[in-house]
Structure 1
Amino acid sequence: MSHPTPVRRVVTGHSPSGKAIIDSDTQLTPYDPLSQDCTPATEDKLAFTTIWRTESVPAKVQESWTELNGSQIPLAHPVGTTIRMVDFPPGPGFMHRTLSIDFGVVLSGEVTLELDDGLKTTLKTGDVVVQRGTIHGWSNSTAGPVRMLFAMLPSEPVRIGDETLEATM
């Protein structure tokens, strides 16, 4: 079984004298977020590539950073940001909600966004979705994989009347 295409991540920083430098230039291997040990993903499985995560907003860009790709971490950070590549294999997804506002860009393929009332919207390469704390799922009814890039920022919980809608993951 083949694997999703690795993601090249280039990270900049500063030298001791304040000049801009390349701090890291590496290939990140997409991993199976549903496996216990985050094994490298195959094309028939959901695949995550965690590109970056901050611990706060605004980000502390001068602090050291930790490699998180291939680690079991929550989908969204409660006070920081997450940017993640997601590869969806053909097949249905699962419904979920995070306490975040998510900006998703379809980089390749065609994916269906489904909401809890059954509403479905098809997104194609180049389309952008702004996911504002709703319960939703992603499904891929094509024969090939779909690749999306998500930037996730923390949000306040959604309140409908007296009810607070909690994260499901």
Structure 2
Amino acid sequence: MALPSNGQPSSASLSQQQIFITSHNSDAKAIVHSENKFKWLPFDNDQMAFSLLYSTSQFPPNLNGDADIKSHDALLKAPLSLVNPAGTILRCVDFCPSYKCAMHRTQSLDYGIVLAGTIDMVLDSGDVRHLKAGDVVVQRATNHQWINTSETEWARMMFVLQATAPVTVGDTTLGEDLGEGADLLPEKPQ
């Protein structure tokens, strides 16, 4: 179930996707600034793949003179964690059949949408929810993991992550905890 050398998911059921970024021409008319195929980064022995589609580095984003696009392009050249502490991240994630990621928590508010396949969300309390295409998760800096329970089909999710202020529950301040294997996160596209 590994990703081939071109970095694309090895499942015929998951198609190659494109991102279209819009802007304005000098007459203030809407145009397509750029269009690109998703660039996949293999992770965890090719059992999972990330595609960082877009990011912002301030709130509210500055769209003037395509400042946000320039900021995103600069961010792609630097090592990046799962969350941009100064803004947002738009990321697509593919999970191979039978894959189980590490239990982890990011200091972020995440909107997760299942695009293809099925996947279980497991929380550190033991709560489990079986998600299917179209289901949405609002992950609020909670400790969680994703398990693709299918033995044959890849699962795909789209995530929007927004950095948050530190979360305190009682006397405990929760921080980022990427779990085992976090040092395996690739820094640049192949």
Q: What interval of TM-score do these two structures reach, taking the shorter chain for normalisation?
A: 0.7 to 0.9
Post-superposition offset of 1:137: 0.4
- Number of positions where the alignment pairs a residue of Structure 1 with one of Structure 2: 161
Task: Name the structure, 1 or 2, with higher relative contact order (CA <8 Å, separation 6+).
Answer: 2
TM-score of the pair, normalised by structure 1: 0.86
Distance change in 2, residues 1:10/1:101 (3 Å): same
Asked if 1:89 is matched to 2:96, the reply is: yes
Worse-superposed segment, 13-22 or 115-124? 13-22
Pairing 1:143-158 to 2, within 5 Å after superposition: 143-158=152-167
Q: Which amino acid aligns with 1:24?
A: S
Instruction: Give the Cα–Cα distance (whole angstroms) in 1 for the partners of residues 80 and 36 of structure 2.
Output: 20
Post-superposition offset of 1:33: 4.2
CA-to-aligned-CA distance 1:90-146 (integer Å, 9 cap, x gap): 221111111111001100100000111222111001100000010000011102110
- Out of 165, 171, 187, the position equivalent to 1:162 is 171
Instruction: Give the Cα–Cα distance (whole angstroms) in 2 for the partners of residues 33 and 157 of structure 1.
Output: 27
CA-to-aligned-CA distance 1:58-92 (integer Å, 9 cap, x gap): 11122142436697411111120111100011221
TM-score of the pair, normalised by structure 2: 0.77
Which residue in the other structure is 1:8 paired with? 18
Q: Which amino acid aligns with 2:82?
A: L
Pairing 1:1-169 to 2, within 5 Å after superposition: 2=4, 3-4=8-9, 5-33=15-43, 44-62=46-64, 63=67, 64-65=69-70, 66-67=72-73, 72-90=79-97, 91-142=99-150, 143-169=152-178
Post-superposition offset of 1:18: 2.1
Which residue in the other structure is 1:40 paired with? none
Distance change in 2, residues 1:151/1:9 (3 Å): same
CA contact (8 A) 2:39 2:52 kept: no
Instruction: Give the Cα–Cα distance (whole angstroms) in 2 for the partners of residues 47 and 95 of structure 1.
Output: 17
Instruction: Give the Cα–Cα distance (whole angstroms) in 2 for the partners of residues 130 and 100 of structure 1.
Output: 10
Instruction: Give the Cα–Cα distance (whole angstroms) in 1 for the partners of residues 77 and 117 of structure 2.
Output: 24
Post-superposition offset of 1:34: 5.0
Question: Higher helix proportion, which one?
Answer: 2
Identity, in percent, stands at: 35
SS, match of residue 42 in structure 2:
coil
CA RMSD of aligned residues (A): 2.0
Distance change in 2, residues 1:133/1:104 (3 Å): same
Post-superposition offset of 1:14: 1.4
Post-superposition offset of 1:158: 1.4
Q: Which amino acid aligns with 2:48?
A: L
CA contact (8 A) 2:109 2:139 kept: yes
Structure 1: any 5+ residue segments left out of the alignment?
A: 36-43
Post-superposition offset of 1:13: 0.8
